[in-house]
Amino acid sequence: MNYGFQIIINCILSYLIGSISGSMVLGNLKGIDIRKMGSGNAGGTNAFRTVGPIFALGVIIIDILKGYISVIYISQLNFMNYSIIGSNEIMNIVCGISAVLGHVYPVYYNFKGGKGAGTLIGIIAALFPFKSLMYAILSWIIILIFTGYVGLGTIIAGITLALNAYVIFVGTEFSEYIYFAFLMAIFIVFTHRENILRMLNGNENKFEKIMIFKKFRK
């Protein structure tokens, strides 16, 4: 029973931390509302397109820290004095999921937030081997260079992470992270559903400047 109550407490705290929007916090300092600019999304990509790289970097750092803090610190809170034997992984996962949900549906901003990728990076950095994060980032870069689509790169990065989690954690004591990775990959597809529709309709924005191979095809 104590463990159940502690899960609820830690999930609420992680959700509240996840609800702190980097773009909204920094936007308030600049006197702007990122949700009224560009695509209307409160994530790092829209921040980069509409405000600039320095602002976007600050947004991404805050979003990453939310996920990292939730699984490294909040998941370790133990007010109810429960036994942590065999339960650490579950607590890490539910706190991570809560932080991502807070980022996407922030209680402070009428439940209108980002798409969860930045916060998920922080979670992966905390729980997964470094090479897993590098594989995901590398796949994102490759897709971005060849297609110019940030959303597609993020989706592929999520799938790459899930497949890598299976290879790394299958048959180990951390096998719960496999389910978490696949769940997050599906959730990333869900949060990018509008991007998918725009790509299919041919009107999704591209980062043309980063498509270095396009120059050689001309």
pLDDT tens for each residue of 6-56: 889 999 999 999 999 988 899 988 888 888 887 778 888 888 878 888 888
Q: Is the pLDDT assigned to residue 106 strictly greater than 90?
A: yes
What pLDDT, on the 0 to 100 scale, is given for residue 87? 57
Residue 186 belongs to domain spanning: 129-218
Give the pLDDT band of residue 218 (cuts 50, 70, 90): low
Domain end marker among 127, 149, 181: 127
Report the domain count for the chain. Answer: 2
The verdict on 178 and 210 lying in the same domain is yes
Which 3 state secondary structure label does DSSP give 116? Answer: coil
Same domain, 1 and 96: yes
* Final residue of a structural domain among 76, 110, 127: 127
Q: What is the pTM of this model?
A: 0.88
The token pair that represents 163 in the structure block:
């497949």
Distance separating alpha carbons of residues 64 and 78, to the nearest angstrom:
24
Helix axes 88-104, 176-191, angle to 10 degrees: 10
What would the pLDDT profile of 159-205 be if each residue is shown by its tens digit? 999 999 999 998 888 889 999 999 999 999 999 999 999 999 988 88
Which residue, of 100, 127, 154, is where some domain finishes? Answer: 127
Contact 18, 102 (CB under 8 A): yes
Indicate whether 76 and 90 sit together in one domain: yes
**Is the CB of residue 148 less than 8 Å from the CB of residue 211?**
yes
